[in-house]
Amino acid sequence: MPSEHARLSASASHRWMNCPPSALLCEAVPDETSDYAKEGTCAHSLCEFKLRRALGQQAADPTEDLDFFSSEMDECSDEYVAFIIEALEEERKAGRNPLVLIEQRLDFSSYVPEGFGTGDALIITDGRLHIIDFKYGKGVLVEAQENSQMMLYALGACEMLGSLYEIDEITMTIFQPRLGNISSWSMTNSELYSWANLTLAPAAKMAINGEGELKAGPWCRFCKVKASCRKRAEESMALASYEFREPPILTDEEIAIILAKIDELVSWADDVRQFALSEALKGKRIDGFKLVEGRSIRRYSDEAKAAEAVSLAGFDPYERSVKGITAMTALLGKARFNEMLGALVVKPQGKPTLVPEADKRPEMTINDFNDTEE
């Protein structure tokens, strides 16, 4: 898999398109790779291998060299391959002869300076382009609709293949198995190029030159300077200085204002706290604060010896519990698990939670809520 990164990457496009100056600010901060990112890279490597093998291509099995591997990753990669094979079969049944490109470098530098990315899987036929992007993460649900990363991949694919195929319809799919999320969205070729000329290119020009205005929003989540960004601090602190009207009890309208901002405010506060801690650990003094040892939990230095000592004293040192559904599925295999235990699996109703109206989950009624309390 390609490991180089573009200055204005497709994966970060949601950020730099909404907040152009953040591109150069982030470029000055060294990259820090998390275990989550490494795990995602391993999952992508496994997906690439399995897909190439399923299509009859030569590929080396990376499993033994993966830093992260689990039965869940194995299953998720199988599901990804099955989804693509099914999509190919649908094209063939319709009388089309699809071309498949795997981990394809896609250049969109005509619209984004030095811009390129890597498409996980592309299915191309006359008139149609289908781009599938594998997401192994489960922290954030990713939607395909108006997803700038996917639209950049589509643009790169059209730039590369436009002289060979007359692409009219473009479908973009996010395959996110750990959240049970398969999100697809389509647009026409003309709509894509209209967006590229009117929206993308101007934003990219500002971003590469460090121009435009800083703007805080959901795109701050993966920004390298999110904790120290003054604009984000100003917008977050605006809620604290909001001039609430009398009487002393908040109105429903004022509570709605707070609810709309509270997640971003809490996220910003946590980011600042973690940033300050990391700076203190580097030796920087934070006025009014000091490093202390936090709470710790007692544990055995050697569990085997502890168990042996308790057993010799005539006691049972072990706790027993039934394996969870994921672990039990890995033990039995999905088919056998469903056969033996499928009828015993239940999904309790989730705890009521308040979310913005734009959330896609169906709204609960008061009766639904009362049922959960019984």
Mean pLDDT value of segment 239-250: 66
Choose between 366 and 275: higher pLDDT.
Answer: 275
222-236: pLDDT as tens digits:
899 999 999 988 888
Comparing 136 with 351, the larger pLDDT belongs to 136
- Tokens (6 digits) for 300: 């055995």
Buried-exposed string 109-130: b where 16+ CB fall within 10 A, e elsewhere: eebbeebbbbbbbbbbbeebbb
The whole-number pLDDT of residue 273 equals 87
> Burial level of 47, CB count in 10 A (0-12/13-18/19+)?
buried
What are the structural domain ranges in the chain? 13-209, 226-281
Q: Which residues have a Cβ under 8 Å from the Cβ of 106 and sit 6 or more positions away?
A: 116, 117, 118, 119, 152, 153, 155, 156, 157, 159, 160
| Distance in angstroms (rounded) separating the CA atoms of residues 319 and 175 | 38
Whether the per-residue pLDDT at 240 is higher than 80: the answer is no
User: Could you read off the pLDDT of 34-44 as tens digits, one per residue?
Assistant: 888 899 999 99
**DSSP H or E run through 157:** helix 148-161
Over residues 306-338, the pLDDT tens digits come to: 999 999 999 999 988 888 887 788 788 888 999
Instruction: With cut-offs at 50, 70 and 90, classify the pLDDT of residue 243.
Output: low
Token pair of 253, please?
A: 């309208």
Nearest to 219 by CA among 14, 5, 8: 14
Select the CATH number that applies to the domain covering 13-209 from these four: 3.90.75, 2.60.120, 3.90.320, 1.20.1300: 3.90.320
The interaxial angle of helices 71-93 and 35-54, nearest 10 deg, is 40
